[in-house]
Structure 1
Amino acid sequence: MEFSVGGRLEVRINAADVGKRVSVRRIDEAGAEGGKFTDTVGLLTSWDGGVLVITRRTGERVRIAESSLVAGKVVPAAPARRRGPAASYTELARVAARGWQPVERELLGDWELRAAVEVVPRDGGTPGRAAVARPWGAVVGRRQGFTRRANSVLPVGDPGRPLDEALARVQAWYAERGLPAYAQLATGGEGTQEPLCAELERRGWTREVTAELWTGALAPVADRERPGGVVLSRAVDESWLSRYQRKGASEVALKVLASGPSVWFAAVPGAAGEPPAAIGRCVVDGRWAGFAAVEVDPARRRRGLASAVMAALARQALDEGASAAWLQVEADNAGARALYAGLGFGVHHLYHHYRGPDAPSAETYRSP
């Protein structure tokens, strides 16, 4: 990484460069004599009180004392990663939202407030399918949301009002529904939201979960061999749900699972009286096919069943005119990451769920 001009290290950035991508070199606390240099590249999200904050593509924020800088410069935006279909963050955020729809939504300018509220009995039992239709005061139990994705504000675009006012409305909207306020934001891609992440953290919002959105071409997935019979259906049934990781899905969960422009469910039948050996879900939306809920019986993993489920769904999506695919995967799910990489998928961007200040942690959410 070259910082020098005529053999000299120079700091060629200042507070006016906030919002730009920068590369800086600083010296550690050992001091110039014998100290080590550390380089940081990312978005300069603030420069106040002698401290710089640089947000890396992972969403990590690095605080750097101005006094420790020995070099710095503005650098071009990171080149777009071309493993997979070309797409902007905004396009994919909208497509992913349509593929996992809430039960209730409200627009705040361009932002979308999203909620899918379940009622859990006070004894900790399964959310009741009838309870969700009752008035607020008639439910005996606590409220929770079915997944963070269906219960987070999607702040893409302009909320049409100052940020503090918009965030206050977000917190009030979720409080009215008995839910903690969450916001889903992205980093690490073209047009993602590093500055807004920094602003939320400055206001006391806490990042709880990070996952990744991957994209890939659809045809190579469809070309995979299909061992065994994969059954496709437009509707989710009790058999499919018996393999789904969130057993005892409520009426709200069923509505979310069935939401989207063109939804398909796949299953590899198991032994008589047993849950399916593997399942999957796909939403076809224009050129995009979104995969989710790909799950395999632990005793039958590494036999190609997940690939078979995705291949069958991909063939159906191709028939409906799709050509590109997306999916979401948690960063620590090594098995899923290996599967998707083998199918030609690659990371497009990272997304994070931020919990509002003073909101209780939503430990009941099983995944993003």
Structure 2
Amino acid sequence: MEFTMGGRLEVRITPADVGKRVSVRRRPEGDGAGAEFTDTVGVLTSWNDGVVSITRKSGESVHIVESSLVAGKVVPAAPARRRGPAASFRELAAVTARAWQPVESEPLGEWRLRAAGGFTRRANSALPLGDPGLPLGEAFGRVERWYEERGLPAYIQTATGAEGTQETLCAELERHGWRREVTAEVRIAALAPVGDLDADVTAVRLTREPDEAWLSRYQRFSTPGPHVLRVLGSGPAVWFATVAGEAGGEAPAAIGRCVVDGRWAGFMAVEVAPEHRRRGLATSVMAALARRALDEGASAAWLQVEEDNEGARALYDGMGFAAHHRYHHFRPA
């Protein structure tokens, strides 16, 4: 990255640039001879008492002593996307939320408090998509009390890494003692290539509701109570995929879930039994669900994958999915 102006390094950012995406270079601690500079790119979230705070697209906050800066500049809000459908953060945030609808919800200004008996953080976290109508410290306290009243841990879901995401809110949560507990990527792709994958879909059975066999493979709960079934069945148009096991009465070899919502098809709960992995079953499930979503008029695909799930990330790379932004669940420390 280029920082020079007339052949010399310059710091061309000020506290007035808080909220903008910046790139900075700093001297390493100790400033030893021959030590290399460190570069940081992200949203400038604060500049107070001689400390510059930058939140990277990963959600990580970096705190830099102002005196160590040797260069800095404002950079474009987000790099241009090179592949995948055009999509804004606001559009995707709404679509992904509709795929995991809570059993109970309540507005807090433009935020939404969501609860579903603790099943999935996505249905049991506050979704902040605007102004809560309170100072942030008070809003955070209100979130904590709301979940405490329901016997649930308090979570706030935030996003980073795209135009219009919430790096500043992430920094405020950290300043109020909240910590990131989980980070995942939201990935998007054109839907037709997923449907065109070279896969055997003849063994994939599609249903509108999850049966006992499907639920026996989806091991994200101890007992599939009514709240679990309500969340799984939520969404404008929901499909469940099942590949039967080889032996009678055996739990399914593979499962998946797809929510069709306008132009979007969201893929989730794609799971393959350990003894059936590396046989292309995940690809078959994805292709079968994609073809049904195409029949219903969808043209774009999204999914969510945790950052440490290397196997799933490699699979989705091969299908053409590219990262759009990251989302995080913050919890009081």
What TM-score results when the alignment is normalised by the length of structure 1?
0.87
Task: Point out where structure 1 has 5 or more consecutive residues left out of the alignment.
Answer: 118-144, 358-368
Where does residue 156 of structure 1 map in the other structure? Answer: 129
1:238 to 212, 219, 231: 212
1:261 to 236, 248, 251: 236
Q: Which amino acid aligns with 1:68?
A: S
1:304 aligns with 2:280: yes
Where does residue 193 of structure 2 map in the other structure? Answer: 220
Where does residue 317 of structure 2 map in the other structure? Answer: 341
CA RMSD of aligned residues (A): 1.4
Kept in 2: contact 1:80–1:190 (CA 8 A): no
Where does residue 90 of structure 1 map in the other structure? Answer: 90
**1: CA distance between counterparts of 2:113 and 2:80?**
30
**1: CA distance between counterparts of 2:5 and 2:197?**
53
Q: Which amino acid aligns with 2:286?
A: M
Task: Point out where structure 2 has 5 or more consecutive residues left out of the alignment.
Answer: none
Where does residue 135 of structure 1 map in the other structure? Answer: none
2:148 to 175, 191, 204: 175
Q: Which amino acid aligns with 1:263?
A: V
Where does residue 360 of structure 1 map in the other structure? Answer: none
Following superposition, the deviation at residue 273 of structure 1 comes to 1.2
Kept in 2: contact 1:215–1:347 (CA 8 A): yes
Residues 218-272 of structure 1, C-alpha deviation per residue, up to 9 Å, x if partnerless? 1111112342411111111111111112253222111111111111111011121
Match of 2:39, SS state, is: strand
Where does residue 363 of structure 1 map in the other structure? Answer: none
Q: Which amino acid aligns with 1:248?
A: T
**What is the aligned length?**
330
> Quick one: structure 1 residues 34 and 222, their matched pair in 2 at CA, closer, same or farther if it must change by over 3 Å?
closer
Where does residue 43 of structure 2 map in the other structure? Answer: 43
Where does residue 106 of structure 2 map in the other structure? Answer: 106
**2: CA distance between counterparts of 1:8 and 1:2?**
10
**2: CA distance between counterparts of 1:259 and 1:294?**
17
1:203 to 176, 189, 200: 176
Over 3 Å off, 4+ runs = 32-35
Where does residue 2 of structure 2 map in the other structure? Answer: 2
Following superposition, the deviation at residue 68 of structure 1 comes to 0.8
Identity of aligned residues (%): 72
Match of 2:19, SS state, is: coil
Q: Which amino acid aligns with 1:198?
A: A
Q: Which amino acid aligns with 2:163?
A: E
**2: CA distance between counterparts of 1:295 and 1:183?**
27
Where does residue 57 of structure 1 map in the other structure? Answer: 57
Q: Which amino acid aligns with 1:204?
A: G
Where does residue 22 of structure 1 map in the other structure? Answer: 22
Kept in 2: contact 1:213–1:349 (CA 8 A): yes
**1: CA distance between counterparts of 2:316 and 2:40?**
30
**1: CA distance between counterparts of 2:100 and 2:88?**
19
Match of 1:249, SS state, is: coil
**2: CA distance between counterparts of 1:29 and 1:163?**
33
